[in-house]
Amino acid sequence: MMKTLLFFTICMIKGHMGDAADAVTGITGGSVIIHCVYKPETTKESAKSFCKVSGSECTTMTEVKNDLWIPEERFSLTDDKTLGLISVLIRNLTINDSGTYRCKADSKLIQEKKLDVEEGSCCGTSEEQTAYLRGTAVIRCKYPEKYNSGIMQLFKLQNGSLQSFFTLGGAIDPRFSLYENKQEQVFTVTIMNVSRHDAGVYFCGAHVTNNHPTKISYSPLFTEIQLHVTEKTDASVLSDLHVIITVCVCLVLLLAGGLSVLLLKRRCKKTQGSGSSDQRSTGDYDEVVSSAYYATIPDSGNTSLHPSAQKPITLNTVYDTAHLPTNPSDSDFYTLAEQPKI
C-alpha cells in the first residue's frame, strides 16, 4: 500500500459516515482513484466493499484485495486500517461507468460517490518511452482544463499499488522535478540520473479536492506511460556520432564558404589594381614611341649623269621624328633631310 499517497490524501479530507454523494469526474480511457474515509474504531474489522447503485439494488463491483492494481480486473479496492481509508481504482473508464457508487463496511454505508465520466480528446492514452541509464527522462503530461485547480501528480505502479512522487512539501525523490504550464494544460516531470529502478508504468494524474464541505478528494489519471530504461548501444552511439559528424561537416562548409568569399574579394581588388597599372604603362609607351627616331640612309645619287661628272657618294644622316598616331586623321609625320652637296 502506498503510505505516502494515503497520508497525503488523509490530511486533505475529513470524511464522515453517511455524507451526501460526492462528485467525482474522469475521462474515457483514463482511470480514477476514489477515496472513502471511515472510522477505524467502529469498522476496523468489517468487510469493505464497493458497489454501484441501480434502482433499489447496489451491485458489488469489488471487495478488499491485497493490491490496488490487479491487471486482469478493472475494479480493485484496498483498505488501510491505520488511516481508516478505502481506496478504489477504476481503470479504462467508459461512459457506462458513470453513476452512483457506495463504499460499504459490511451492510453499513460509509460514503456515496457520484461518478461522471466525460469524453476526453486530449488524454486517456497509453504511450511508451525509452530513457538511457544515467541520462535524463522527460515525461510530458496533458490534462483537461477542468483540472487546472488540482495538484498535478505522477504515479508509478509499484508492488501492486500506485506510488506518488510528489506531496505538498515537494518531490519525494530529489531526482524528480515537476513544471506545470496552466495555460497549455501541460505538466512535465524530469527524472535526472536515470537508474534501472526507474523503469516501469507511470500515470499522469491530479489530486482533486471537491468544494463539498467534507472536502472529499479523488485522483483522476489521464495518461499511462511505459518507461523503458536501457544502456546506450552501439547503434545509439553511432547515431550520436553521426549527428556530431554532420554538425562538423556543416561548420567546415560554412568556413570554406567564408574563405572563398574573402579570397574572391581580394582577387577583385587585385584585378582593379592591375587595370590601373596597365593604363599607366600604356601612357609610358606612348611617350617612348613618340621620341625621336634616328636612322642613317645612303644618298641614292644620280646614275644618269656622265661618269666624269660623278662624285664620290657620301653617306648623309637623316633625322626622323615619328609619332604613333592616336587618331589616323590627326597624324603628322615630319622628315628632316640634308641633301647631298654636288
What mean pLDDT is predicted for residues 319-340?
Answer: 48
Is residue 40 helix, strand or coil? helix
The pLDDT of residue 7: 41
All three cell numbers of 43: 469498522
| Coil, strand or helix at 184 | coil
Give dist(CA 123, CA 143) in Å, integer: 6
Can you give the pTM of this predicted structure? 0.62
Q: CA neighbours within 13 Å on the CB side: how many for 42?
A: 10
Residue from 161, 165, 140 nearest 222 by CA: 140
Question: 230 burial class (0-12, 13-18, 19+ CB within 10 angstroms)?
Answer: middle
Q: Is 189 exposed, middle or buried (0-12, 13-18, 19+ CB in 10 A)?
A: buried
SS3 of 8, please?
A: helix
Q: Where in 133-272 does DSSP place strands (E)?
A: 137-142, 151-158, 161-164, 166-167, 170-171, 176-181, 186-191, 200-209, 217-230
Would the pLDDT of 36 be above 50?
yes
Residue 57 confidence (pLDDT) = 94
Give the ranges where the chain is alpha helix by DSSP (H).
3-10, 40-43, 234-289
Taking Cα atoms as reference points, which of 131, 93, 156 lies closest to residue 227? Answer: 131
Mean pLDDT of 194-217: 82
Residue 17: pLDDT band (50, 70, 90) is very low
- pLDDT attached to residue 20: 53
Whole-number Å distance between alpha carbons of 212 and 217: 10
pLDDT tens readout for residues 254-278: 888 878 888 888 777 767 665 555 5
DSSP string, 245-297: HHHHHHHHHHHHHHHHHHHHHHHHHHHHHHHHHHHHHHHHHHHHHTSEEEEEE
The residues with which 59 forms a beta bridge, in sequence order, are 52
Helix, strand or coil, per DSSP, at residue 78: strand
Q: Give percent above pLDDT 70 in the chain.
A: 66
In the prediction, which pLDDT does 306 show? 46
pLDDT tens digit sequence for 65-111: 888 888 889 999 999 888 888 999 999 999 999 999 999 998 889 99
What pLDDT was estimated at residue 154? 94
More confident residue, 77 or 124: 77
Q: How confident is the model at residue 148 (pLDDT cuts 50, 70, 90)?
A: confident
Helices (H) and strands (E) in the chain, counts: 3, 21
The whole-number pLDDT of residue 265 equals 80
Is it the case that residue 26 has pLDDT exceeding 60? yes
